[in-house]
Amino acid sequence: MNEELLKEIVSHFAIEGELERIETMGAGFINDTLKVCTKGEAPDYIMQRKNHSIFPDVPAMMDNIVAVTTHLKAKVEAAGGDPMREVLTVTFTHEGKPYWKTETGDFWTMCPFIAGSVTYERADTPALAYKGGEGIGKFQSQLSDFEQPLAETIKGFHNIRWRFQQWDEALKRDAAGRVASLTTEIGWIESRREEMLSFWALVENGTIPTKVTHNDTKISNILFDKDGEVLCVIDLDTVMSSTSLNDFGDAIRSYTNTGAEDDSDLSKVSMSLEMFKGYAEGYLSQRRSTLTQSELDWLAFSARYITYEQVLRFLMDYIDGDTYYRITSPDHNLVRTHAQYKLLQSMEEQYEAMCEVVLNAAGK
């Protein structure tokens, strides 16, 4: 991207210090992320171009993020913590907006970089998984009395009924002409359709409650400090109403994977029950007294649900001709599909043991 243009965008934000340089950064699949380095003691910043074909209403999304971070900061302050390190901070423009819209219609946002923070792609120790679970548990607790309605930033994000509607249309369209070669993979999705819909029906009929949740709790969206404590939950683009089970399930998808999300060596991919136990114990240390029985009953299943949904989303993007996720090779979405399916199978094989872990950690 043009350096001068980027500098011009930075100039619209009320940052501290003087701009030194702009670096590319981050491995997100959706937005473009840059690091804005400042001279001297002033904080550095993270600048993002939000993907407005995926997030159709960026101003509404930023309103969500401002409302949620304001709420979280009050909680952290009340508990004697440091709101600048424990909660993401939105940097406003000189006109007081939480984004800058360019003439070409791009939306840019900024937040201070939290010095000394570390990110991971998977948990290497149960202790780190425990801390991650504890962090998301606290995040959910801090938001449990958040009442303001939030905009739905992506329609039906974790709603499998809606995903099936998109899926059926994608199969019919066959935009990239790939459907005929994917009989096996499509079978993986279809054979579990009813099972997944019957779980979602419990959310739809209120058996499983709906709350303000993060919805993208993969481990790389959590900042840890150098001692492995959770500092701050980032990537708040999808904070909106859903079931809190999705935050658990999506975290398990990354914390417990012994391989990479897009591992081409499937022998490396499996779910580590040890990491599952660590995460579940950390999460339930914060949430066991507030979760309903129905939430506890379906907690372990949520990992299968979200991993299944991820298989569907990667495969659907491959079928669509790779229009959603950033790819680095022509078959990247298919490789991701296979790797996530392997993880799903590993969860299915260990499901009884996962339920047992939840039961013990919940103290029931």
CA distance 16 to 110: 12
Residue in 86, 134, 185, 235 binding Mg ion, rule: CB under 5 A: 235
Q: At 232, which helix (H) or strand (E)? A: strand 230-233
**Tokens standing for 301?**
């299943």
Q: Is 261 one of the binding residues for ligand GN1 (CB under 6 A)?
A: yes
Kindly calculate the radius of gyration of the chain based on its CA atoms and give it in whole angstroms.
Answer: 20
Pairing of the two strands 107-112 and 45-50: antiparallel
Scanning residues 208 to 227, which ones bind Mg ion (CB under 5 A)? 216
**Tokens standing for 286?**
């914060």
Given the complex with Mg ion, which of 106 and 274 has the nearer CB atom? Answer: 106
CA atoms 76, 80, 85, 89: torsion sign: positive
Partner that binds at residue 261, options Mg ion, ligand GN1, none, CB closer than 5 to 8 Å by kind: ligand GN1
Residue in 134, 216, 247, 263 binding ligand GN1, rule: CB under 6 A: 216
Partner that binds at residue 320, options Mg ion, ligand GN1, none, CB closer than 5 to 8 Å by kind: none
Partner that binds at residue 29, options Mg ion, ligand GN1, none, CB closer than 5 to 8 Å by kind: ligand GN1
Q: How far is the CB of 235 from Mg ion (least distance, A)?
A: 4
CA distance 241 to 263: 31
- Window of 99-107, 173-181, 237-245, 259-267 that interacts with Mg ion by CB under 5 A: 237-245
- Window of 117-125, 177-185, 214-222, 348-356 that interacts with ligand GN1 by CB under 6 A: 214-222
CA distance 24 to 222: 19
Q: Is 297 one of the binding residues for Mg ion (CB under 5 A)?
A: no
Q: Is 297 one of the binding residues for ligand GN1 (CB under 6 A)?
A: no
Q: How far is the CB of 56 from ligand GN1 (least distance, A)?
A: 12
Given the complex with ligand GN1, which of 86 and 216 has the nearer CB atom? Answer: 216
- Window of 24-32, 40-48, 74-82, 170-178 that interacts with ligand GN1 by CB under 6 A: 24-32
Pattern of binders to ligand GN1 over 223-242, x per CB under 6 A?
Answer: ------------x-xx----
**What's at 194, amino acid-wise?**
E
Q: Is 29 one of the binding residues for ligand GN1 (CB under 6 A)?
A: yes
Q: Locate tokens 């007294």: which residue?
A: 289
Q: At 213, which helix (H) or strand (E)? A: strand 211-213
Q: At 242, which helix (H) or strand (E)? A: strand 240-242
Q: How far is the CB of 40 from ligand GN1 (least distance, A)?
A: 31
> Minimal CB distance to ligand GN1: which residue?
28
Q: How far is the CB of 41 from ligand GN1 (least distance, A)?
A: 30
> What residues contact 154, with CB distance under 8 A and at least 6 apart?
54, 55, 238
Given the complex with Mg ion, which of 235 and 263 has the nearer CB atom? Answer: 235
In 155-175, which positions are buried (b, 16+ CB within 10 angstroms) versus exposed (e)? eebbbbeebbeebeebeeeee
CA distance 83 to 97: 20
Contact (Cβ atoms closer than 8 angstroms) between residue 46 and residue 84: no
Q: Is 218 one of the binding residues for ligand GN1 (CB under 6 A)?
A: yes
- Window of 25-33, 78-86, 96-104, 124-132 that interacts with ligand GN1 by CB under 6 A: 25-33
Interacting residue ranges for ligand GN1, rule: CB under 6 A: 28-30, 216, 218, 221, 235, 237-238, 261, 310
